[in-house]
Structure 1
Amino acid sequence: MRGLEVVDSSSSRPRDDPDKSAPVNPRRSSHRCCIRFHGLRLATCSLDQRIKTWTLDETTGNWASDDDWKAHDAPVCRLSWAHPEYGTILASCSFDKTVKIWEEGGVEPARGSDANAGSRWRERATLSESRTTGASVRAVEFAPRQFGLKLAVLSSDSILRIYDCVELHNLATWNLTFTIDVRLLQPPSTPPMSTTDMFAAPGTSLGASSNGKSYGSSVTGGRPGKREADGGWSISWCKDATTGQLIAVAADTYGLVRVLQLSDSRSHKTVFTLPPNASGATDSPAITTVAWAPLCGRRFHLIATGGREGKVNIWKISPPHTNVTTEWSVNLAGTFDDHQSAVTRVEWNVTGTILSSAGNDGNIRLWRSTYGGIWRTMGHIHTEHGDDEEMHE
């Protein structure tokens, strides 16, 4: 299994060095990566305030760096590629309380002391509404292309902002269409939720529940205290346009994930919530990562969550059937505590059939469903010791 070779952006190698695919220890600063739609471009962001882009050489399977520039005045938190239909566009967010929109184009001549002279990436817009509340921006994600060039932004004060690009040929103008304080959202009339026996995790057990207990309905608002510490953590759009504009938001310290539906009339509502565990307790540690799987022909949705409690949860979500019910069906399809430490990220593959999770234990773990619908581990990649990654089954 070929590992991803990421050259640390703080390396002293000149930018025009032809050997850009030589591996250098990436732990020095690169801490987030984002792969473009077709899988041939990669962007990484760093604690040193820089963004680096990469291109895959399909003949050798190696990644080569093609650009590197200073993007923010503080560590860069997250990145998101826009759909290729809108061009080569990248969004970044940072602890400097801003979101920046970047577009790849021709190299422009240096202007004065421009630190990014020679870079093909141009800054087209800066979204700085988070500065009004003094909150860092922790998550950004472009919406599916069916909804237009739309960007979701979540800041550490748990405020979700949705921006729309006014003119596709001019990325300088963005309208702020939603400003939602997620902590203050009222819970929905929560549909019955139950656990299922569709999982098997070594060392864990979770009984099935058929009592129709509703979870999350006791949470009625944000708790007072340090908003920066409580903070918003992660967002993920529903990739299926037939159910409308849905976005999952992990915010606050309750360990609760809220799924919101946005309308073109600028109204929004909470359609369902995901508790941190099967018991429905709302005092669990924060959920810090959420990922909505591509639908790819299934009749149900899958949402994965992970957090400081150390568990990876996989939720099976069935949309309402107008002939039978108007409520969403939410079931816990799998829960795993193999990391035995905080889970920092969950991501699906392009078909939504394999889930990867990363934890503070230094492992990337892979999960997939069996033919019978039971979720099991399929192996893990250990990256804690040395530069060589090992795949264990």
Structure 2
Amino acid sequence: MNNKPILTLDRGTRCTAWNYSGQRLAAGLDDGSLVIYDSTDPASSTFTSSARFKVRESSILKVVWVPPEYGDAVACVCADGTLSLWEEVAEDAGGNRWKMCKCFDRDKSQVLDVQFGNSHTCLKLVAAYSDGQVKIYEVLDTLELEKWQLQAEFQNVVDLVSKFRNASCQSASISWNPQKNEGQHSSFVLGFNSNVPTLNSAKVWEFDLDHQRWLPVAELSSPEDKGDQVYAVAWAPNIGRPYELIGVATQKGISIWHLSTNPDADGRLSTHKIAMLSNQDSEVWEMEWDMSGMTLATTGSDGTVGLWQSNLNGVWHQQAVLKPTQ
């Protein structure tokens, strides 16, 4: 059996993002260009470049697709700390082109991570910044993606009164609750890699409809691990479990957490660490669950991809290891 590549990325590619709905791939390059690849023949799974355009003069570090029900648009985080949103639009003469519909304001801090989330009234976006700030934006009319409004701003701490003026964050990781059940509150998990221990631990934030504010409802860390720097978080899809499943990667390894769905009298959700997975000596930079929420894929500093699963007895193990070629 001959294994043939379905796509060869341009030299200087720094990041990619897959659009499952449209069978498209977006790739950010060192020179600040964004390349869009489309499937030309679904039967043979081959892709060709359909668009290439300049986003910034600095390299693109992260690309995130807008949820497919809101059209074809991508958010780009660049090395200069900027965040911009690009949308594919149809031209009168035929064909499509990509245009920038929003460049988000920034002060001295840089955008480290950004993710989109659904609610039943609007499209939301959460961005984490290098000073430890978290900003929530929303757009009420998804046909006007240039009209984002700042809904909330806070820091990733349980004590909402605390403020850290000299926080310095190297990276951040955000993962929205992928569920879209009607009546379910919007929520996401966020962790930092910073010089402020109380910012680092992964915390679950939920939107309180009664008081119209975001509240920390759970902290995914053991007492002895609360100051550990978080490299990646991933919220698993739920296909009927009575609890949520979230992965958190730190320097100590990958922890798998159960998160209850029933809050206590104070509105908090109970947590339980069910597994601690070792990734040997490499740091985990990215994690992603499959669509069933049964398999967790991890990759990091050594370029190895690990696939993790739980057996019928609830014991987690590494199902496969994919190592890069030269």
Q: Which category of TM-score, normalised to the shorter sequence, fits these structures?
A: 0.7 to 0.9
Distance in 1 between residues matched to 2:83 and 2:306, nearest whole Å: 31
- In structure 2, the CA distance between the partners of 1:256 and 1:123, relative to structure 1 (3 Å rule), is same
Question: Which residue does the alignment assign to 1:365?
Answer: 306
Structure 1 residue 84 displacement after superposition: 2.1
Partner residue of 1:31 out of 14, 36, 40 = 14
Distance in 2 between residues matched to 1:259 and 1:167, nearest whole Å: 27
- In structure 2, the CA distance between the partners of 1:279 and 1:379, relative to structure 1 (3 Å rule), is farther
- The answer to whether residue 51 in structure 2 is matched with residue 67 in structure 1 is yes
- In structure 2, the CA distance between the partners of 1:326 and 1:98, relative to structure 1 (3 Å rule), is closer
Q: How many residues align?
A: 316
- The answer to whether residue 63 in structure 2 is matched with residue 79 in structure 1 is yes
Of all paired residues, the percent bearing the same amino acid is 22
Question: Which residue does the alignment assign to 2:257?
Answer: 315
Distance in 1 between residues matched to 2:104 and 2:85, nearest whole Å: 8
Distance in 2 between residues matched to 1:96 and 1:166, nearest whole Å: 29
Question: Which residue does the alignment assign to 2:83?
Answer: 99
Query: TM-score, normalized by length of structure 2?
Result: 0.86
* Bigger fraction of residues in strand: 2
Are the equivalent residues in 2 in contact too, given 1:77–1:139 (CA < 8 A)?
A: no
Are the equivalent residues in 2 in contact too, given 1:158–1:231 (CA < 8 A)?
A: no
Distance in 1 between residues matched to 2:225 and 2:217, nearest whole Å: 19
Q: Deviations over 1:182-227 (max 9, x none)?
A: 25x418xxxxxxxxxxxxxxxxxxxxxxxxxxxxxxxx956664x3
Structure 1 residue 381 displacement after superposition: 0.8
SS at match of 2:190: strand
Question: Which residue does the alignment assign to 1:148?
Answer: 122
SS at match of 1:280: helix
SS at match of 2:69: helix
- In structure 2, the CA distance between the partners of 1:305 and 1:103, relative to structure 1 (3 Å rule), is same
Q: Deviations over 1:249-301 (max 9, x none)?
A: 112343411111123554121101112xx5633333x1121111111222211
Are the equivalent residues in 2 in contact too, given 1:85–1:145 (CA < 8 A)?
A: no
Q: Which has the higher contact order (CA 8 A, sep 6+)?
A: 1
Are the equivalent residues in 2 in contact too, given 1:339–1:361 (CA < 8 A)?
A: no
Q: Which runs of 5+ in 1 are unaligned?
A: 11-28, 110-117, 188-219, 387-393
Partner residue of 2:203 out of 249, 254, 258 = 258
Distance in 1 between residues matched to 2:147 and 2:258, nearest whole Å: 38
- In structure 2, the CA distance between the partners of 1:321 and 1:174, relative to structure 1 (3 Å rule), is closer
Structure 1 residue 43 displacement after superposition: 1.4
Q: Which runs of 5+ in 2 are unaligned?
A: none
Decide which structure has the larger Cα Rg and report it. Answer: 1
Partner residue of 1:274 out of 210, 220, 230 = 220
Distance in 1 between residues matched to 2:58 and 2:172, nearest whole Å: 18
Query: Partner amino acid for 2:179?
Result: D
Listed as ranges, the matches of 1:287-306 within 5 Å are 287-306=230-249
- The answer to whether residue 25 in structure 2 is matched with residue 52 in structure 1 is no
Q: Deviations over 1:67-122 (max 9, x none)?
A: 2221123222222222222111211222323221111123689xxxxxxxx97211
- In structure 2, the CA distance between the partners of 1:139 and 1:337, relative to structure 1 (3 Å rule), is same
Distance in 1 between residues matched to 2:212 and 2:170, nearest whole Å: 24
- In structure 2, the CA distance between the partners of 1:49 and 1:350, relative to structure 1 (3 Å rule), is same
Listed as ranges, the matches of 1:1-393 within 5 Å are 5-10=6-11, 29-38=12-21, 40-56=23-39, 57-106=41-90, 120-128=97-105, 131-132=106-107, 134-144=108-118, 146=120, 148-183=122-157, 185-186=158-159, 221=162, 225=166, 227=167, 229-242=168-181, 243-251=184-192, 252-253=194-195, 254=197, 255-264=200-209, 266-275=212-221, 278=222, 280-284=224-228, 286-307=229-250, 309=251, 311-320=253-262, 327-383=268-324, 385-386=325-326
Structure 1 residue 175 displacement after superposition: 0.6
- In structure 2, the CA distance between the partners of 1:239 and 1:364, relative to structure 1 (3 Å rule), is same
